[in-house]
């Protein structure tokens, strides 16, 4: 029946209400962080309410250090997020990094410590705070791998990945992007991304490392050949 209230509407935030025959909200309205969509539990008929592949509830709980999951990532919605002391779903993949190499986008990360990782799900979107879903899903990578080469994005793009174990439990999300002072050591929560002009000009990781103390304008000028003797193929 969703959430129903009478009298003064209660404050609602960071909840997921979906597909209720009588409506999701009665006598109240969704507040900040409220979602409506299939939570994609692993096996609700059998009572398994762990979050599965593409679940919008992953990393969608109340933000802030008091509500983090044990691995330091943002808490999930649901009974296995926020308040759990021991996680039985995968932690977020560490050191996710994106670069342009040979006209392709290359993602690398540290393999998860859990022995039962079956796949990594890769997502991408132009918005840094996007909710991973089937609509922005890119590919699955085998759990034994820690790198994937993708077609270069058509525009600036954020990438996120999630580990999925053999039980179908989807883990926390890692996010990568470039920022202007990129140190190539992106940790969880960094908000940098592959920039449109870097894609256009074929800026590689090695080239950017050599130019990391220069401004974006300097790098653009160098890449166009005013100061640089390197020959790097331009992505068109």
CA distance 31 to 66: 20
Predicted local confidence at residue 84, as pLDDT: 63
Asked if the model's pLDDT at residue 51 lies above 90, the reply is yes
Residue with the larger pLDDT of the pair 181 and 155: 155
Tokens of 127: 């918005």
Give Cβ neighbours of residue 103 (< 8 Å, ≥ 6 apart): 152, 202, 233, 235
Coil, strand, or helix at residue 226? coil
Distances (CA, A) of 29 to 22, 37, 42, 140: 14, 16, 28, 37
- The token pair at 190 is 């960094």
**pLDDT for position 226:** 34
Whether pTM exceeds 0.95: no
Q: Taking 70 as the threshold, does the pLDDT of residue 39 lie above it?
A: yes
Express each pLDDT in 142-167 by its tens digit: 999 999 999 887 777 888 999 999 99
Q: What is the mean pLDDT of the chain?
A: 77
Distance of CA 56 to the CA centre of its chain: 11
Kindly report the CATH class assigned to 97-223. Answer: mainly beta
Please check the confidence at residue 224 and state whether its pLDDT lies above 60: no
Greatest mean pLDDT among 28-32, 84-88, 97-101, 128-132 lies in 28-32
Q: pLDDT at position 227, please?
A: 33
Q: Are 89 and 80 in contact (CB under 8 A)?
A: yes
What percent of the chain clears pLDDT 70, i.e. is strictly above it?
72
Tell me the domain boundaries of the chain: 1-37, 97-223
The predicted structure's pLDDT at residue 213: 53
Contact (Cβ atoms closer than 8 angstroms) between residue 186 and residue 192: yes
């Amino acid at each position: 029946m969703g959430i129903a209230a009478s009298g003064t509407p209660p404050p609602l935030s960071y909840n997921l209400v979906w597909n209720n025959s009588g409506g999701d909200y009665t006598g109240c309205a969704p507040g900040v962080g409220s979602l409506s969509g299939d939570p994609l539990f692993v096996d609700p008929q059998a009572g398994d309410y762990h979050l599965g592949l593409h679940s919008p509830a992953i990393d969608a709980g109340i933000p802030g250090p008091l509500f983090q999951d044990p691995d330091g990532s943002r808490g999930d919605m649901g009974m296995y997020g926020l308040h759990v002391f021991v996680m039985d779903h995968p932690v977020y993949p560490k050191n996710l990094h994106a670069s342009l190499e040979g006209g392709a986008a290359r993602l690398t990360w540290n393999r998860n410590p859990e022995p039962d990782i079956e796949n990594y799900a890769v997502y991408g979107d132009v918005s840094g705070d996007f909710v991973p879903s089937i609509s922005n899903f890119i590919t699955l990578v085998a759990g034994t791998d820690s790198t994937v080469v993708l077609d270069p994005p058509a525009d600036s793009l954020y990438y996120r990945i999630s580990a999925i174990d053999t039980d179908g439990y989807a883990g926390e999300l890692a996010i990568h992007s470039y920022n202007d002072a990129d140190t190539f050591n992106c940790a969880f929560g960094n908000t940098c991304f592959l920039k449109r002009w870097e894609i256009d000009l074929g800026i590689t990781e090695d080239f950017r490392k050599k130019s990391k103390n220069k401004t974006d304008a300097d790098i653009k000028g160098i890449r166009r050949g005013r100061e640089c003797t390197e020959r790097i193929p331009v992505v068109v």
